[in-house]
Amino acid sequence: MKCLTYFLGLTFFLASFSSAEEKQSTSIQRIIALSPHSVEMLFTLGVGDRIIATTKFSNFPPEAESIPRVGGYNGIQIEKILSLNPDLIIAWIDGNKIEDIEKMEKLGLNVYRSKTRSLDNIPNELILFGEMLGVQASGQNAANAFNARLEKIRTENKTKSSVRFFYQLWDEPLRAVAAGSWINSVMHACGGANVFNDPNFDYPEVSIENVLISSPEVFIIPSHHGTYTAGVEKWRKWPEIPAIKNNQIYFIDGDLLHRFSTRILDGMDQVCDAFDKVRASRLGALTNLNIN
């Protein structure tokens, strides 16, 4: 008889637990977003107010600045996350420590692993988040808008001549991006041809000599968390590089280019504009040549 009571108790307990879980999946209210891009995406979907915690560099939109922090690159405060009792944690495979993600999963937390690695994955995640959070229409609309704008950029630049670019990711050590990187696909959509195509490293370390002999037509220098670490002073003495000779150096907000959010399209617009200016300067040089 005692056994039967225990059995019934256990059945009731499990039933109540699974129904709670069901209820949670339909209305996720307490979200911990562990990457700047997931925070931006949730705000795009109009559910930014459900974020109860995030990581160090989530600074956009401005409302995101007031969200409490639970860690950064160096790791996540899992105890704090547990105490916040979240319904969903959006982890980021390339930005969070895999040990932290696995630990949260082992602790029974509801973890989604965001793995946005290409431009086309951004709309997919917008749709997925929309479905997960019960805002399907917003997700679908945001994805459609993103796809339409991306397609427009791609079509506009498809027939333009290619521009040889050097993306100076970091100053010391001098680091570029190579063909396999995410940034390269962004540049490619604007008609950029990377001067570094190292198949082994996505972010190869290069020397001044490497840049000199690859003679790029344009330098793109991104900021990091709002500050530009790299100056152009050291390049000024190398007018042998076409980009330096023609003053084709463009500084672009790194947050626009390095985050997998819809703002990447704003960054792409700036890159495409820069490449158009390079093409125009070529034309200018040609006209001067004809006049002379």
Shortest separation between residue 135's beta carbon and other proteins, angstroms: 32
Is residue 212 involved in binding other proteins (CB under 8 A)? yes
Selected from 1, 65, 173, 283, the binder of other proteins by CB under 8 A is 173
Shortest separation between residue 254's beta carbon and other proteins, angstroms: 10
Shortest separation between residue 68's beta carbon and other proteins, angstroms: 20
Q: Is residue 88 within 8 Å of residue 28, measured between CB atoms? A: yes
Residues 22-81 close enough to bind other proteins by CB under 8 A = 57, 72-74
Selected from 29, 136, 162, 210, the binder of other proteins by CB under 8 A is 210
Q: What does the radius of gyration of the chain's CA atoms come to, in whole angstroms? A: 24
The torsion of the CA quartet 26, 27, 33, 39, rounded to 10 degrees, works out to 100
DSSP string over 24-92? HHH----EEE-SHHHHHHHHHTT-GGGEEEE-TT---SGGGGGS-B-EETTEE-HHHHHHH--SEEEEE
Element (H, E) at 4: helix 2-26
Selected from 48, 192, 204, 216, the binder of other proteins by CB under 8 A is 204
DSSP string over 189-241? HTTEEES---SS-SS-B--HHHHHHH--SEEEEE-BTTB----SHHHHT-TTS
Shortest separation between residue 232's beta carbon and other proteins, angstroms: 12
Q: Which is nearer to other proteins, 112 or 196 (CB)?
A: 196
Q: Which is nearer to other proteins, 45 or 244 (CB)?
A: 244
Is residue 196 involved in binding other proteins (CB under 8 A)? yes
CA-to-CA distance for 36 and 152, rounded, in angstroms?
26
- Bridge partners (DSSP) listed for residue 249: 219
- Pick the stretch among 116-124, 125-133, 222-230, 280-288 that binds other proteins (CB under 8 A): 222-230
Is residue 222 involved in binding other proteins (CB under 8 A)? no
Give the binding-site size for other proteins (rule: CB under 8 A). 31
Q: Which is nearer to other proteins, 28 or 39 (CB)?
A: 39
Q: Which is nearer to other proteins, 21 or 94 (CB)?
A: 94
